[in-house]
Amino acid sequence: MKESYIFRSCLSSNGSRLNSLKSVLSELRLPFSPGDRIGIKLHWGEMGNKNYLPPIYAKEIIGWLKAKEIKPFVFDTTVLYSGGRREGRQSLITAAKHNYSEEYLGCRVTIGDGLDGKDVIDLPAGYKHFEKVQIGKVIKQADGFVILSHFKGHMETGFGAAIKNISMGFASRAQKQRMHADAKPSLNKKKCILCGECVKVCPVGAAAMEDKEYPVYDLSKCIGCAQCIAMCPEMALKIIWDTDVRVFQEKLVETAAAVWKSIQGRAVFVTALLNIVKDCDCLPGNHKTVVEDKGFIGAYHPVIADKEAIEIVGADVIDSIHKDIPWRRQFTYAQEIGF
Find the shortest distance in angstroms from Cβ 283 to ligand SF4: 12
DSSP code per residue over 297-330: EEESSHHHHHHHHHHHH-HHHHHHH-TT--TTHH
Between 204 and 337, name the residue whose CB sits nearer to ligand SF4: 204
How far apart, in whole angstroms, are the C-alpha atoms of residue 275 and residue 193?
30
Find the shortest distance in angstroms from Cβ 228 to ligand SF4: 3
Find the shortest distance in angstroms from Cβ 304 to ligand SF4: 32
| CB distance 152 to 327 below 8 Å | no
Sorted by sequence, the CB contacts under 8 Å of residue 114 that are 6+ apart come out as 88, 120, 136, 137
Find the shortest distance in angstroms from Cβ 53 to ligand SF4: 25
Element (H, E) at 6: strand 6-10
Classified as helix, coil or strand, 260 is helix
Between 42 and 231, name the residue whose CB sits nearer to ligand SF4: 231
How far apart, in whole angstroms, are the C-alpha atoms of residue 39 and residue 31?
13
Between 182 and 293, name the residue whose CB sits nearer to ligand SF4: 182
Find the shortest distance in angstroms from Cβ 205 to ligand SF4: 8
Between 105 and 239, name the residue whose CB sits nearer to ligand SF4: 239
Q: Where along the sequence are the contacts to ligand SF4 (CB under 6 A)?
A: 185, 187, 192-198, 201-202, 204, 206-207, 215, 217, 222-228, 232, 234, 236-237
Between 28 and 232, name the residue whose CB sits nearer to ligand SF4: 232
Find the shortest distance in angstroms from Cβ 330 to ligand SF4: 21
Longest dimension (CA), the chain: 63
> Which letter, b or e, does each residue of 206-223 get, where b requires 16 or more Cβ atoms within 10 Å of its Cβ?
bbebeeeeebebeeeebb
Between 213 and 316, name the residue whose CB sits nearer to ligand SF4: 213
| CB distance 47 to 94 below 8 Å | yes
